[in-house]
Structure 1
Amino acid sequence: MSDVELPGLQPPPGRVRRSQRAQEKRRKKRKRRSLVAVLVSLVILALAGTAVWFGAKPIIASLTAPSDFPGPGTGSVMVKIPDGASGRTIGRILAEKKVVKSAKAFVDAANKDPRAQKIRPGTYELRLQMTSSGAIALLADPKNRQVKTFTVAEGKRVAEIVDIIAKTGIPKKDLQAALKDPAALGIPEWATSKKGLKFPAEGFLFPKTYEVEPGDTAVSVLTAMVTETLDELTAAGVPAGQEWKVLTEASILQAEGGRSSDYPKMARVLDNRTKKGWKFQLDSTTSYAVQRFGVTTTKKERDTKSAYNTYYVKGYPVGPICNPGADAIEAALAPAKGTWLYWVTVNPETGETKFATTDAEAQKNIAEFQKWLRDHPQGT
């Protein structure tokens, strides 16, 4: 009999039941798999939602948080605003120091506050976590700048200037140490190479008012003064190679002259005496040689063998005898026209100076000066 089932014949009942049970098992397994898949999907979605929430939370917080600190601030912090700093630069500096919350907050406040235009370079004592407007108020008030000032008058010597600067709190010993390395202060080689100078920085400490901020040192302050002198030489148009002569001559005019209007005449006298081969014979240079102050000198001092003593050397002294100002520098560059060979400051109190071409005229002026000395015995 053939193994092929004939059409119309059905499987035995037991086989049917076994097949139905297998199908039911398969349905239940698929149902369980679907349920697990749904549960896994729900867990994944929950985890993803949590991650999104925690990831977005800082962003949401930053979007909803105030853009500026709310209060007047606490504590204190020193902040230095550099020269030429823009509003954005100032804001960045303040934000880094945690004075304001952000550079943007400061810039936004500065754009609305006209006081921001008054902010000057310098060092300020501010508070931590201030409002931007509060920071602007402190920065715009010059009283809050942490600065000391000193003023150097025209004609002061290096030794005098050291004492003046030391009053700001910079140690005198630091200033004296810094002066021993003139090249480190920016003094050019054409000056530092000179031999026999009492103070290589003499002539280079430009007279004016300076500011000293926290953190400034003897070197930084003296360097600023040297820079001022070099800038003045450039502004005056001093020819290259003539800087030393101009500084030295200007220092003589500054030390000898009582009135700046006389400087050009004095410069002409020095030129005329140089052309004749005469010594200058100036008490100011002799006083510097012996490191003394006064309007007269003694014969012993005038006989001093010093490269600064113009009773001893012919022509200019070895270097500047004080620190000249702009008027003296300009006069050294542009002497007045004239034939004068002598000058005498007949009244040191008023600075009145008389000029002469002949020795006889000069003697009359000397006699007038001597009378002043007799009338003012304490003036020498």
Structure 2
Amino acid sequence: MNDLDMDLLLGPEDDNGRSRRQKGNGRRGRRRRRRRNRGGFLAPLLALIVLLGIVGGGGYYGYLWVSDRLVPGDFSGPGSGSVALEIRQGQSATDVAEELERLGVIKDSRAFINAVTNSGKSASLVPGHYTLRKQMRAADAVTELDSNNRQYTEVTLKEGLRLSDTFTQLAEKTKVPAKDFTAAAKKAGDLGLPDYAKGRLEGYAFPATYQFPPKSSATAILTKMVDRFKETADRTGLEAGAKDLGRTPHEIMIIASIIQAEAGRQEDMGKISRVVYNRLAHKPEMHLKMDSTVMYALGKYKTAATFAETKTPSKYNTYLHLGLPPGPIANPGDHAIEAALNPTPGTWLYFVATDPNSQVTKFATTDAEFQVLLNEYKKNGG
């Protein structure tokens, strides 16, 4: 057995604790160190060769993996079929991209984000309902999500419509049966009506131009109209203004509905409002004697009530009953609401649309002046 073998068996130290490497000549120790150094160099070299072999053999697949991570996939065609998408208020371009990928419209949400960024439309994705196709190019999907391509039904409701007429027009435009609107109106809690409306929708279905999404329910449509009313109420300061006038918000809406029904022109609304307030405050108390409230009670559409019609027992007959009727007689617009809150200063107690064709309205303070206006009305074919 040689000295190297003995070293391996006995260990690096002798019985006295001295290193065995100190024994013998230096040449043998140097040989052993050279052998060990060669072994330490070969191991990393072999590992590097193996690694290069693996990389070389799988390089193509590695390239594909990296490429897929860096370049998002995209469909090559215009797509086919039909997919409905709703962009909701507050959604980001990333939210929309992920939804489009989930629906199969685009292949990779990142491709859509890139296309949106390149088009400069990242901040112009407008909430609404859109129709797209499956397996579309991301850039084509961005083009289709233009606000002009939104799907909706536009309905314009004029100021002064009665609720029954509002339902008729909504049904014609939206194809939702009128009976659905009637049923929905009875569930005031579902519509978000203010407490002072007393559970009645008449007067609070705000007249405006609306864009309703496809397949909107009657409840959703009426809720949107009530929301629009509440926005107007906030803007005009309805509750605070009513308190200043010593009235409730509901009473202001009743007055506004009468102003809307009686006024032929916007510029007359403030004066008509003053006539209503002057009559309500008159001592002795006066009947309002508004033909519009009588017509509402009878379900008719005329500007002047006959003597027989003024005898109807309805509480909406202001010829027969003192004070305001129980509720609004129509859905007033913002100008009528503002007039009810800001009556024009004056002492008038009467007004007459002296020329039905031009809708000019004149005002009077005394009964004698009123009779003059009535004669002018008759002379003009009234």
Describe the SS at the equivalent of 2:129: strand
Comparing 160-169 with 87-96, greater Cα deviation is found at 87-96
1:294: which partner in 2? 302
Shift of 1:244: 0.3
Comparing 250-259 with 67-76, greater Cα deviation is found at 67-76
Cα 1:192–1:152 shift into 2, 3 Å: same
Query: Given residue 69 of structure 2, which amino acid in structure 1 is its aligned partner?
Result: L
In structure 1, distance between residues paired with 2:134 and 2:109: 14
**What are the superposed Cα offsets for residues 133-167 of structure 1, whole Å, 9 maximum, x if unpaired?**
1011111151x322111110000000111111111
Shift of 1:307: 1.5
Shift of 1:267: 1.0
1:32: which partner in 2? none
2:217: which partner in 1? 217
1:316: which partner in 2? 324
The answer to whether structure 1 residue 89 and structure 2 residue 95 are counterparts is yes
In structure 2, distance between residues paired with 1:300 and 1:320: 23
In structure 2, distance between residues paired with 1:372 and 1:348: 7
How is 1:80-229 mapped onto 2 (pairs within 5 angstroms)? Answer: 80-115=86-121, 118-140=124-146, 142=148, 144-167=149-172, 168-192=174-198, 200-229=200-229
Structure 1 unaligned runs (5+)?
1-44, 194-199, 375-380
Cα 1:93–1:275 shift into 2, 3 Å: same
Describe the SS at the equivalent of 1:319: coil
In structure 2, distance between residues paired with 1:171 and 1:336: 42
In structure 1, distance between residues paired with 2:114 and 2:67: 20
In structure 2, distance between residues paired with 1:178 and 1:319: 19
- Kept in 2, the 8 Å contact 1:116–1:140? The answer is no
Cα 1:127–1:308 shift into 2, 3 Å: same
Shift of 1:61: 7.0
In structure 1, distance between residues paired with 2:193 and 2:337: 17
Describe the SS at the equivalent of 2:268: helix
The answer to whether structure 1 residue 344 and structure 2 residue 352 are counterparts is yes
The answer to whether structure 1 residue 334 and structure 2 residue 334 are counterparts is no
In structure 2, distance between residues paired with 1:237 and 1:338: 23
- Kept in 1, the 8 Å contact 2:256–2:340? The answer is yes
**What are the superposed Cα offsets for residues 298-345 of structure 1, whole Å, 9 maximum, x if unpaired?**
222211111111111111111100000000101111111111111111
Select 2:378's aligned residue among 363, 370, 380: 370
Q: Percent identity?
A: 38
Cα 1:102–1:372 shift into 2, 3 Å: farther
How is 1:248-259 mapped onto 2 (pairs within 5 angstroms)? Answer: 248-259=254-265
Describe the SS at the equivalent of 2:207: coil
In structure 2, distance between residues paired with 1:353 and 1:141: 44
2:230: which partner in 1? 230
Q: CA RMSD in A?
A: 2.5
Query: Given residue 202 of structure 1, which amino acid in structure 2 is its aligned partner?
Result: E
- Kept in 1, the 8 Å contact 2:72–2:110? The answer is no
Shift of 1:265: 0.8
Query: Given residue 279 of structure 2, which amino acid in structure 1 is its aligned partner?
Result: R
Shift of 1:189: 2.8
Q: TM-score normalized by structure 1? A: 0.78
Cα 1:60–1:119 shift into 2, 3 Å: closer
Q: TM-score normalized by structure 2? A: 0.78
Shift of 1:118: 4.7
In structure 2, distance between residues paired with 1:351 and 1:89: 54
**What are the superposed Cα offsets for residues 164-216 of structure 1, whole Å, 9 maximum, x if unpaired?**
111121122211211121222111232225xxxxxx21101101011121231
Cα 1:233–1:65 shift into 2, 3 Å: closer
Describe the SS at the equivalent of 2:211: strand
In structure 1, distance between residues paired with 2:145 and 2:349: 57
**What are the superposed Cα offsets for residues 69-103 of structure 1, whole Å, 9 maximum, x if unpaired?**
22211211010111233222222222222212233
Cα 1:351–1:183 shift into 2, 3 Å: farther
- Kept in 1, the 8 Å contact 2:313–2:320? The answer is yes
Size of the alignment, in residue pairs? 320
1:356: which partner in 2? 364
- Kept in 1, the 8 Å contact 2:93–2:125? The answer is no
In structure 2, distance between residues paired with 1:179 and 1:334: 30
- Kept in 2, the 8 Å contact 1:183–1:192? The answer is no
Comparing 316-325 with 124-133, greater Cα deviation is found at 124-133
- Kept in 1, the 8 Å contact 2:355–2:377? The answer is yes
Describe the SS at the equivalent of 1:299: coil
How is 1:36-51 mapped onto 2 (pairs within 5 angstroms)? Answer: none
Structure 2 unaligned runs (5+)?
1-49
Cα 1:108–1:65 shift into 2, 3 Å: closer
Select 2:77's aligned residue among 71, 76, 80: 71
Describe the SS at the equivalent of 1:254: helix
